[in-house]
A = this chain, B = another copy of it.
Amino acid sequence: MNLNTVDPYGPEAFPGHRVRLGAEDPLPLDCGVSLSPFSVAYQTYGRLNADRDNAVLVCHALTGDQFAGESHPLTGKTGWWEFLIGPGRPLDTNRYFVICPNILGGCMGTTGPREVNPATGRRWGLDFPVITIADMVRAQVRLIDHLGIDRLFMVLGGSMGGMQVLEWAAGYPERVFAAVPIATAAHHSAQNIAFHEVGRQAILADPDWRGGDYESLGVVPHRGLAVARMAAHITYLSEIALTRKFGRRLQDRQNVTFGFDADFQVESYLRHQGSTFVDRFDANSYLFITRAMDYFDLAGRHGGVLADAFRDTPVRFCVISFSSDWLYPTVENRRIVHALNAAAANVSFAEIDSDKGHDAFLLDEPQFHRVLAGFIEGSAERLDFLDTGR
C-alpha cells in the first residue's frame, strides 16, 4: 500500500524533508508500544561541515513545528525563530547546520495521531500511543543517526522545547556538547497540568471530536480546539502585557454594546487566536502533546533527585528564563540550575528582564539574543571547530 495516496499530510503536502525510519528497528516508547516505521519531518538551515560537528538541534514548543527559520507554508507567517536563525544571526547559518524536526505526535509530517497507522491503513486518531517527551527525543536521536551526526554542537529550545533539551542532556550526554533550555521546567506543576486539562476537556466536549475519529468523518472539533487555544494563550502572556496591549480598550466601537459580541479588544484578539489556530493544528495532536508535557517529570525518574539526571555530565548548559513568565517562572528554571550546580555541571544562568510573559522566548528580545549569542560564541570557541576552519 502506498501510504501517501491516503495521506494528505504526506511529503507532497509540506515542503522540506521527511524521512521514514524504524522499519527494521522499531522505536520503543515509554508506554510499552513500539512504532515501526515512523516518519520525521524536518527542516534544515546552513550546511553540515565535513567533520559533521556543527549541527544545532532546535526543539519546538507545543504548537510549534519544523518551520523555525523560514516562512510557514500554511500560514505564510515568519518562522517562529527566524530572528535567531540565518546568516549573521545568533544561530549563524554560515557556521552552523541547524536542524528543526517536527515532534513525534505532531501534525506537520512527523508521525502522530493524524498520520496513517501502517498496521491498519487508517488514521491513528485516539489509537495513537500516548507518548512522552523522552519518546520525542528518541525519535530525534534516530533522525540524528540517520543524518550521520555523532554529536550535536548544541540543542536549544523554549517551553516544551526546553523539556526536550533537558531530555537530550540527561539521556544522551555524550551526544550533546552544549544545551540551552529556555523558559521551561523539569516537571509540570499542578497548575500547568490544570490548564492543560481544561484544554483537553474543551476538545473532548466538542461533539465533532467524535471520539477522535473526526477526520475520517469529515468534521473538525474547531470550537473545542479554539477554546483550548484561548485558555492556553492567556498563560503565554503576562498580565502587564495584556494590559499594555489591550487594557479595557473597545474593539471598533465607542461604547459597550450590552451584548455578547467582542466589545473588548482582548476578546477579539483571543477569538482570533482560537480561530486561526484551528486552521493549522490538529485537535488530537493537542491532546497527545499536552499529555506528554503533563507526564514530564525528570526528577521523578531519578528517585526524586533532579541532580541525579545530570551526574558527571560533560554538557555545557545555559539556562534562560524571563522575569514575567508565570507559566514556567524563573523559580522553575532556577530549580534546573540548582540541580546542575549540585551535579557539578558547567552551567550559566540568565533571567531576562521582560514584561512579555512566557511568549518572550518567541519574541525579539534583544537582551535574550545577546545572552544566547554570547553562549553560542563561547561554546564554539571551546569546541574549537571554528578556528580550525573546518
B234:A191 contact, CB within 8 angstroms = yes
Interface with B: A82-90, A148-156, A219-227, which one? A219-227
Given the interface pairs A206-B205, A260-B200, A287-B260, the reply to whether A190 lies near B223 with Cβ below 8 Å is: no
| Complex CA–CA separation, A201 to B246 (angstroms) | 19
B226:A205 contact, CB within 8 angstroms = yes
Residues of B within 8 A of A256 (CB): 295
Residue of B nearest to A233 (CB): B194
Residue of B nearest to A257 (CB): B130
| Complex CA–CA separation, A197 to B231 (angstroms) | 9
Q: Which of B191, B193, B260 contacts A204 (CB 8 A)?
A: B260
In the complex, whether A215 has a CB less than 8 A from a CB of chain B is no
Q: Which of B227, B242, B245, B266 contacts A202 (CB 8 A)?
A: B227
| Complex CA–CA separation, A102 to B191 (angstroms) | 32
Given the interface pairs A197-B230, A230-B197, A267-B197, the reply to whether A205 lies near B224 with Cβ below 8 Å is: yes
Residues of B within 8 A of A142 (CB): none
A31:B258 contact, CB within 8 angstroms = yes
Residue of B nearest to A266 (CB): B190
Residue of B nearest to A190 (CB): B242
A227:B201 contact, CB within 8 angstroms = yes
A355 to chain B, nearest CB (A): 13
| Complex CA–CA separation, A382 to B248 (angstroms) | 39
In the complex, whether A189 has a CB less than 8 A from a CB of chain B is yes
The B-contacting residues of A in range 279-310, CB under 8 angstroms, are 287, 291, 294-295, 297, 300
Residues of B within 8 A of A200 (CB): 260
Given the interface pairs A259-B130, A264-B294, the reply to whether A234 lies near B195 with Cβ below 8 Å is: yes
| Complex CA–CA separation, A264 to B270 (angstroms) | 28
- A contact face: mostly helix, strand, loop, or mixed: helix
A 228-269 binary contact with B (CB < 8 Å = 1; else 0): 001100100001001101111000000010111011101100
Residues of B within 8 A of A30 (CB): 258
Q: Which of B194, B227, B274 contacts A270 (CB 8 A)?
A: B194
Tell me how many residues of A have a C-beta within 8 Å of chain B: 56
A188 to chain B, nearest CB (A): 7
B190:A245 contact, CB within 8 angstroms = yes
A207:B204 contact, CB within 8 angstroms = no
The B-contacting residues of A in range 25-48, CB under 8 angstroms, are 30-32
A243:B189 contact, CB within 8 angstroms = yes
Residues of B within 8 A of A31 (CB): 258
B230:A191 contact, CB within 8 angstroms = no
In the complex, whether A114 has a CB less than 8 A from a CB of chain B is no
Residues of B within 8 A of A197 (CB): 230, 262, 264, 266-267, 270-271
A193:B258 contact, CB within 8 angstroms = no
B189:A201 contact, CB within 8 angstroms = no
Residue of B nearest to A189 (CB): B243
Candidate in A189, A197, A326 with the most chain B CB atoms within 10 angstroms: A197
Residues of B within 8 A of A204 (CB): 260
A 178-201 binary contact with B (CB < 8 Å = 1; else 0): 000000000111110111011011
New A-B pairs, 15, CB < 8 Å, besides A202-B227, A205-B205 = A30-B258, A31-B258, A189-B248, A190-B247, A190-B248, A191-B234, A191-B239, A193-B267, A198-B234, A200-B260, A201-B274, A202-B205, A204-B260, A256-B295, A260-B291
